[in-house]
């Protein structure tokens, strides 16, 4: 789960809001590409780091409250400062020493996709009511808006439906509609802004159109725009269904960052999550 999120994030990060020419030329899956703003090839960004924070909350004995999530976001950033965050949030994270500090300083009125991008791990929560509550709590730290909270709930619920209900991909939109009232589109084609709801439509469109992770990655990047978030969420969800063939190129497996919080750490975290939430086990067995 986290490994695939990171691969989607790191692959997409090289193309985030880049020109169309770069996508045409380099979206070949041959290798990770660096981003002109300083993100090195194979390095993941905020999407993965905040998903790690959510996963660490799930592994702890803490309650899933906004304060606990806020602490985790600050802790994960402080121990491993990296690029890819929105400027405003990165500035705050640099200033803040803990979650309470962050919550005091932040104006959490964003309708962007930051709450959705870190929500795949929330699908591990077995109780749907607790899942909805956790989605809300984690979202309101930074995205205390109807769109921010809804987007987190939708992603978390898609993840949950794949994990626990063994839902077919084709069934997801109807299940999401029933659970959240949100109608996922499967015909997104435009560049994806950082917008929460656009991101959901793009993720669902790419997820429904493919059954292999390689083609999924290509499609996510081809949208253009905020493609690292789209690819991170889509790859995370694809890792939770046997309908998806795990055909990630070897170059992307070996090219993912290998530092202290790199591929090994992500695999360890996935194993720890599967120990705590055995429903994840069968999917980790498919991990390359
Ligand atoms: Mg990002």
**What string of pLDDT tens digits covers the 288 residues of the chain?**
999 999 999 999 999 999 999 999 999 999 999 999 999 999 999 999 999 999 999 999 899 999 999 999 999 999 999 999 999 999 999 999 999 999 999 999 999 999 999 999 999 999 999 999 999 999 999 999 999 999 999 999 999 999 999 999 999 999 999 999 999 999 999 999 999 999 999 999 999 999 999 999 999 999 999 999 999 999 999 999 999 999 999 999 999 999 999 999 999 999 999 999 999 999 999 998
Distance 148 CA to ligand 1 centre (A): 16
Measured CA to CA, the distance from residue 26 to residue 250 in angstroms comes to 17
Distance 168 CA to ligand 1 centre (A): 28
Fold of 2-284: ADP-ribosylglycohydrolase fold (1.10.4080)
Distance 105 CA to ligand 1 centre (A): 22
Measured CA to CA, the distance from residue 42 to residue 256 in angstroms comes to 5
Q: Which of 250, 172, 249, 156 is nearest to 207 (CA)?
A: 172
Distance 60 CA to ligand 1 centre (A): 25
Measured CA to CA, the distance from residue 160 to residue 120 in angstroms comes to 8
Distance 16 CA to ligand 1 centre (A): 8
Distance 152 CA to ligand 1 centre (A): 16
Any bridge partners for residue 192, and if so which?
A: 225
How many residues comprise the chain?
288
Distance 185 CA to ligand 1 centre (A): 22
Helix, strand and coil in the chain, % to nearest 5:
60, 5, 35
Give CA torsion, residues 232, 236, 241, 247, to 10 deg: 60
């Amino acid at each position: 789960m986290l490994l695939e999120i990171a691969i989607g994030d790191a692959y997409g990060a090289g193309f985030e809001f880049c020109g169309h020419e770069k996508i045409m030329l380099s979206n070949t899956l041959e290798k990770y590409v660096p981003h002109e703003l300083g993100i090195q090839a194979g390095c993941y960004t905020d999407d993965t780091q905040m998903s790690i924070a959510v996963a660490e909350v799930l592994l702890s004995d803490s309650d899933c409250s906004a304060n606990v999530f806020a602490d985790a976001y600050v802790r994960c950033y402080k121990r491993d400062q990296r690029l890819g965050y929105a400027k405003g949030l990165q500035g705050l994270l640099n200033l803040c020493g803990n979650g309470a500090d962050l919550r005091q300083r932040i104006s959490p009125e964003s309708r962007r996709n930051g709450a959705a991008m870190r929500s795949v791990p929330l699908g591990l929560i077995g109780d749907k009511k607790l899942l909805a509550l956790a989605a809300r709590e984690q979202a309101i730290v930074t995205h205390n808006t109807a769109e921010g909270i809804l987007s987190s709930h939708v992603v978390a619920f898609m993840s949950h439906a794949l994990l626990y209900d063994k839902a077919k991909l084709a069934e997801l939109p109807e299940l999401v509609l029933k659970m959240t009232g949100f109608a996922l589109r499967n015909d997104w084609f435009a560049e994806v802004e950082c917008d929460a709801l656009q991101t959901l439509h793009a993720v669902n469109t790419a997820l429904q159109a493919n059954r292999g992770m390689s083609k999924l990655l290509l499609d996510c990047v081809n949208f253009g725009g905020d493609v690292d978030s789209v690819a991170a969420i889509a790859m995370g969800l694809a890792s939770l269904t046997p309908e998806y063939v795990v055909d990630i190129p070897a170059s992307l497996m070996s090219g993912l960052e290998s530092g202290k919080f790199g591929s090994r750490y992500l695999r360890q975290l996935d194993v720890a999550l599967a120990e705590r939430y055995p429903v994840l086990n069968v999917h980790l067995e498919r991990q390359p």
